[in-house]
A and B are shown apart, each in its own frame.
Chain A
Amino acid sequence: MRYVSLALQYRVPIILGLTLIISAMLVPGYVSATTLSLGLDRAATIGLIAIGLTVLLIAGQIDLSAGSVFALAGIVSIMLQPQLGILPAAAAGVVVGMVAGAINGALVVGLKVHSLVLTLATMLIFRSIAHWITDSQPVTGTDIMFSLALAQIYLDVFTVRSALFVAFILLLHFWLTRTIPGRNVFAVGSNAVAAEESGIASGRILFFGFVFAGTLAGLAGVLQSLVTNTGSPVFGSTLIVTVIAAVVVGGTRIEGGKGSALGTLGGVLTIGALTVAMEFQSVPAYVQQVVSGFILILLVVLDRTVSTRRKATASRPSLVQGNPIKQGGSA
């Protein structure tokens, strides 16, 4: 039992290590700087969305609409290129993500509805808008050269988006552990009523959590569209399962109150390593889906069974020993 709990404590590096070792054994030529940069680049898309979702999950909420926002933001950044130019159009795409997040946040906070159901609805709405404005056809950008520049590998490892992802993760880690708003996110996710009564504006925290998540999903979508020079209404339709899987692999609890940025980094890298390994072996996309679905279910089940056992041991009565105040009885 001690080994099990030890293994669980360090499960993120263990899972990541195992994935890498198994991949290296099964896939020839897996261990190289190219693979690393490729994996990081693949992971960056999931990763950027995962960063936003980490904050939301810690706060006890979820955003299922991230995949739709991803598609919509990408489409906007491509469609506006002729009018605005590449960079302003990209900025507009990110703003679309931000607005989508604000809509989610306002509805969740305003209507006091759980975000699972609400973002299920907005996922449908945002996806419909994506189909609406594109007539369900992919759209293409104006400048293919820009895409190539974005896909460029710097320092043998980083592309623009993977560098952005790593930078954001480090910032998130600092924010979650060292700042007051960061700690308040944990408070809201762990016990919203207590947080509220202690003067923490939980509504505001949740709202900005959704804005943050929407913005990052938008950013990921814009980068994806710029790299592929296309925007498509079907982009990201199966992304959300993978993203949730990555965050959960990283040890963030679905019910809120627990999670970390570095954990998410580990989870995202694991999923990235796995994706690249499967791509090397040309495993079809739907099998990859099966794998990420399976990992998600397995880890959530593991989490549940262990956390209930932990809780049981934690509530052991400590009684009088724990209470050092020595006073005569009242009688």
Chain B
Amino acid sequence: MTEGVVDIARMKPGDRFTRGSKVVDALSKAGLLIAILAVILYGSIANAAFFSTGNFLNVLTSMSIVGIVVVGMTFVLVVGGLADLSVPATIACGAILSLGLQPMIGPVPSFMVAVALAGAIGLLNGVLVGYFGVNPIIATLGVGTIGLGIVQAAVGGVIVYGTNPASAELVKGRLFGIPVVAIIFAAIAILGHIILSRSFWGRWTLATGGNYSAAEASAVPVRAVKAGAFVITGLAAGISGGLLGLTLQSARPLVGTGYEFSAITAVVVGGVSIIGGFGSVPRAIAGLVFVQLLTNVMVLEGVRTPVQGFVLGALIVCAVGMDAALRKRGGA
């Protein structure tokens, strides 16, 4: 036995795995699956409209837009970056530019430019957090405020409409009966999963979140890795915003409000550690599925929007509480 194992007072990331890690691990994984099944069971009993292809496709479509952000946000949490609060700004940037630039440069280049600019906002976050060591919440809050202000100023606070119906049809369409948006989401999720769990970049991300100075002393380019997580989130939110704009064919500056919370909720509910060093894309997506199904059941049951917000907030509290409890149990 190591003396450090029993020292609860000096707990560090990773200590949640000190003892009985496999049991706890399996339990937290199975717990989420059981919760998802329970929601499906309850939904099927409570509401006839729930267990239908139409409804599931609905959930899948709305889930896909948030889901793309969730993939990025997973990297931010795992690398120890707490959260990216500039998501509403990057989504608005993606949505407004991909619609607003259409008359000038056509739909595909507009989408590209929109995503690139969202990535640039992510890069700004990343440089502030990774290279200047600014607290991520403060940095992304500030950058988000600036970004949103600039977007609002650029369009004068009005709504932007799409001018290219063909692009809307493409995004809203289906391939083999599956919504195109969902396919894009699946592709991004798989890519994200491969990067995080199989690539050296992913290993670096986990190491940086697990012990920053040890990773630095192991020749991991920690600053770039930290910044990279925010760039990934910026790009993801840009894609998500672009798809959202194309689907709705209109974009307000506040179109992305609330997406940061939905994404954080999903990631945290999925059991990704808030202090970094542990987590995976499938976990985060399991969290997302749970949250989305729960929201769907609430909508079908006629629960009002503010109450849904309340439940989401409460879910985050429970999830972080559980994360802390697991760490504590792992430590003792």
**Chains A, B in direct contact (C-beta < 8 Å):** yes
A-to-B contact residues, CB < 8 Å = 62, 64, 107, 111-114, 116-118, 120-125, 127-132, 136, 193, 196, 238, 240-241, 244-245, 254-255, 284, 286-287, 289-290, 292-294, 296-297, 300-301, 304-305, 308
Q: Are A114 and B274 touching (Cβ within 8 A)?
A: yes
The yes or no answer to B20 lying at the interface (CB within 8 A) is no
Contact A113 B142 (CB under 8 A): no
Q: Which residue of B lies closest to A300 (CB)?
A: B134
Interface of B is mostly: helix
Query: Known pairs A289-B145, A293-B149. 16 more at Cβ < 8 A?
Result: A62-B137, A114-B274, A122-B313, A122-B317, A125-B314, A128-B309, A130-B306, A131-B305, A131-B309, A132-B306, A254-B135, A290-B153, A294-B146, A297-B143, A301-B134, A308-B133
**Pairwise interchain contact A128-B310, C-beta atoms closer than 8 A:** yes
Q: Are B149 and A289 in contact (CB under 8 A)?
A: yes
For residue B261, which residue of chain A has the nearest CB? A124
Contact A301 B132 (CB under 8 A): yes
Find out whether the CB atom of B143 lies under 8 angstroms from the CB atom of A293: yes
Q: Which residues of A contact B313 (CB under 8 A)?
A: 121-125, 128
Q: How far is the CA of A296 from the CA of B10 in the complex (A)?
A: 32
Closest to B156 in A: A284
Please measure, in the bound complex, the distance between the C-alpha atom of A305 and the C-alpha atom of B128, giving whole angstroms: 11
Check A286/B316 contact, CB under 8 A, given A125-B310, A128-B306, A301-B128: no
Residues of B close to A294: CB separation below 8 A: 142, 146
Q: Which residues of the other chain, B, contact A64 by a CB distance below 8 angstroms?
A: 137
B149 and A244 within 8 A (CB): no
Q: Quick one: which of B119-158 are within 8 Å of A by CB?
A: 128, 132-135, 137-139, 141-146, 148-150, 152-153, 157
Query: Is there an interface contact between A293 and B320, defined as CB atoms closer than 8 Å?
Result: no
A132 near B146 with CB under 8 A, answer: no
Nearest Cβ on chain B to A258's Cβ, whole angstroms:
14
Contact B306 A136 (CB under 8 A): yes
Contacts from B to A (Cβ < 8 Å): 9-10, 82-83, 85, 128, 132-135, 137-139, 141-146, 148-150, 152-153, 157, 253, 261, 264, 268, 274-275, 304-310, 312-314, 316-317, 320-321, 323-325, 328
Q: Is the CB of A297 within 8 A of B146?
A: yes
Quote the shortest CB–CB distance from B254 to chain A (angstroms). Answer: 10
CA distance A131 to B308 in the complex (A): 11
Pairs across A and B, CB under 8 Å, 19 listed: A111-B317, A117-B274, A128-B307, A129-B310, A131-B305, A132-B307, A193-B9, A238-B145, A245-B142, A255-B135, A286-B148, A286-B157, A290-B149, A293-B143, A300-B135, A300-B142, A301-B128, A304-B132, A304-B134
Cα A64 to Cα B85 in complex, Å, equals 12
Report the number of A-B residue pairs with Cβ-Cβ less than 8 Å. Answer: 140
Known: A111-B321, A289-B148. A117 touches B316 (CB 8 A): yes
Contacts of A111 in B (CB 8 A): 317, 320-321, 324-325
Q: Are A300 and B307 in contact (CB under 8 A)?
A: no
B82 and A284 within 8 A (CB):
no
- B276 CB, min distance to chain A CBs, angstroms: 12
Distance in angstroms between the alpha carbons of A111 and B308 in the assembled complex: 23
Q: Is the CB of A297 within 8 A of B135?
A: no
- In the complex, chain A residues whose CB is within 8 Å of the CB of B317: 107, 111, 118, 121-122, 125
